[in-house]
Amino acid sequence: MSPAKPPAKPPRAPGRAEPSTPKPAPTAATKAIHTAWPLAVIGALAMASGNPLTPTTAGGDTTLASPPPAREAAAMPAATLSSDRVSAHFIDVDQASSALLEFPCGAVLIDAGARDQTSVDHLVGYLDAFFARRPDLHRRINTVFVTHTHVDHNRGLEAVAERFDIGGYVYNGHLTGSGRVGAKWMADHARQTKIPTDSLSESQISSSQGYTDGVVDAVACPRVDPTINVLSAAYPENPGWDEGEYDNENNQSLVVRVAYGKTSFLFTGDLEEPAIDTLVEKYRASGALRSSVYVVGHHGSANGTTRGLLDAVRPDIAVMSMGRPDVHVPWTAWAYGHPRRDVVELLDQSITRPRDRIEDVQVADGVKRFSPYTIRHAVYATGWDGPITIAGDASGVLKVEREPGG
Ligand SMILES: [Zn+2]
């Protein structure tokens, strides 16, 4: 259903962080920092954790958000990531997208894509292992978002919905595109099993912080309450793009922002340049696009990231979901040429936080054409790194975590 009047979100605990109250309630870890740490470190942490005028100047994917120069590092205690945290798991689904957001009291899935059945099995296996580790969540995903109706974003939707308890489903209302079979199946399944559903269009987004309701934001943790907003949705009318751009399902992608105190993630689906420009213009005044982690649009495609978007987001870390360059068959990163060199260079230049390890990777100069690149800043990709988890706490301390052996 698409409720005319959205259901009210459950009452919030005091100290809700964003957008109404910028300062989250201190966690045990941040309290400890403020009682025991040298002022210089507290200053570095405060600077790193979200002052929009002061981007992080250094980093390294340790638990320290903004460490001092290397020669002083040994004398400084590392900032610890609070156990009260959000973890975004970028699941390796090959040339496709699926990210699981893990909160202290819930879970949210943004896209359930997969390149093929093997990737679907991998997605489901990852979620099985996750819920085995978090039995307190009772195999419940509070909300499943599908950014748009392409198979690389919803091929695994049926498998996920049949295996796990889905609390709500949010999509752009489109039943066309390469993922239409899965989208129709899910619409029917949600109706039959009474899963609350939002099919969102731009006409519902009136706030300068985007749209939210009890389906979009169904996670209400007692200590730090996450804030989930949809910043862009389906366009019922062409906002002035070329006809081909308007008919392109990529440009109808949901844009989702998830905040946990001062840690935030921005998902732009597969938006391409005209829709990105419209998005940036829409939130220029409110600054609502500013996020600590940018989930790189359109798998690192040449048309999925712009300088204007990066200027608005100002991420500390970027992460891409795409396949490996050495699989030479159709529908792969190799066939599409993802990620494109220009985008990787733009990200590598815009982000100042160093990578946890400098890596020689392959980037695309065009479709089916790759060459080496040495990536030095905090830009990660499932096709380079395998599954990547980015954890952050309410104070904005970020940490990149890899699977054992990753
Ligand atoms: Zn895609």
The per-residue pLDDT string of the chain (406 residues; one tens digit each, 9 = 90 and over) reads 333 344 444 444 433 334 433 334 334 333 333 333 333 333 333 334 333 333 333 333 445 444 444 444 445 566 789 889 999 999 999 999 999 999 999 999 999 999 999 999 999 999 999 999 999 999 999 999 999 999 999 999 999 999 999 999 999 999 999 999 999 999 999 999 999 999 999 999 998 999 999 999 999 999 999 999 999 999 999 999 999 999 999 999 999 999 999 999 999 999 999 999 999 999 999 999 999 999 999 999 999 999 999 999 999 999 999 999 998 988 999 989 999 999 999 999 999 999 998 999 999 999 999 999 999 999 999 999 999 999 999 999 999 998 765 5
Spacing, Cα 21 to ligand 1 middle (Å): 34
Spacing, Cα 322 to ligand 1 middle (Å): 9
Spacing, Cα 249 to ligand 1 middle (Å): 10
pTM of the model: 0.82
Spacing, Cα 182 to ligand 1 middle (Å): 15
Spacing, Cα 363 to ligand 1 middle (Å): 17
Spacing, Cα 115 to ligand 1 middle (Å): 10
Please give all residues whose CB falls under 5 A of ion ligand 1, grouped by chain where several chains appear. 152, 270
Spacing, Cα 96 to ligand 1 middle (Å): 6
Spacing, Cα 237 to ligand 1 middle (Å): 23
Report how far residue 27's alpha carbon sits from residue 45's, in angstroms, rounded to the nearest whole number. 14
Spacing, Cα 250 to ligand 1 middle (Å): 8
Range list for CATH 3.60.15.10 in the chain: 85-402
Instruction: Give exposure, 184-223, as e/b (b: 16+ Cβ within 10 Å).
Output: eebbebbeeeebbbbbbbbebbeeebbbbbbbbbbbbeeb
Q: Among the CATH numbers 1.10.10.10, 3.40.50.1950, 3.20.20.150, 3.60.15.10, which is that of 85-402?
A: 3.60.15.10
Q: Pull the structure tokens for residue 218.
A: 């169904």
In sequence order, the β-bridge partners of residue 372 are 362
Spacing, Cα 93 to ligand 1 middle (Å): 11
> Which H or E run includes 333?
helix 333-336
Q: Taking a C-beta distance cutoff of 8 angstroms, is the pair 240, 268 a contact?
A: no
Helix residue ranges, H only, 142-179: 151-154, 157-163
